[in-house]
Amino acid sequence: MESKTTNITMRVDKELKKQAEELFSDLGLNLTTAFTSFLKQSVREQGIPFVLSRNVPNDETLQAIKEVQVLKNDPNKKLYSSFKDILEDLGEEDD
């Protein structure tokens, strides 16, 4: 008698797996049921059942990008040719 199921082996980041297990547990599901639901919905829709888009930077990253742009456009900025020069300017050079 042939089995109607098969195994799928995947590698996933440990923290992502933990977070997903917690989420699905709150929803009354386990990873197998959640993944099976994803597969069924994908087949039903003949595509990925959610929008795929580029990774959009969070607010902290956007702020850092703006800071770099401001620094790049600062006419008083000091340029360094090496990390050693930065340390010397900071007075932290190791002798």
- Please spell the DSSP secondary structure of 45-76, one letter per residue: HTS-SS---PPPP-HHHHHHHHHHHHHHT-TT
* 53 located within any domain: no
pTM value > 0.75: no
| pLDDT at residue 92, rounded to an integer | 67
Q: What is the pLDDT of residues 9-37, one digit of tens each?
A: 999 999 999 999 999 999 999 999 999 99
* 73 located within any domain: yes
pLDDT at residue 95 tops 60 = no
Distance CA 40, CA 48 (A): 10
Provide the domain limits for residue 37.
14-45
* 1 located within any domain: no
| pLDDT at residue 76, rounded to an integer | 82
Distance CA 21, CA 31 (A): 6
Residue pair 17/11 in contact (Cβ under 8 Å)? The answer is no
* 4 located within any domain: no
Domain count, the chain: 2
| pLDDT at residue 93, rounded to an integer | 55
| pLDDT at residue 75, rounded to an integer | 79
Judgement on whether residues 63 and 86 belong to the same structural domain of the protein: yes
* 8 located within any domain: no
Cα separation of the two ends of the chain: 77
State the DSSP code for 28: T
Q: What is the pLDDT of residues 49-85, one digit of tens each?
A: 988 887 888 999 999 999 888 888 887 888 888 999 8
Side-chain half-sphere exposure of 74, counting CA atoms within 13 A: 11
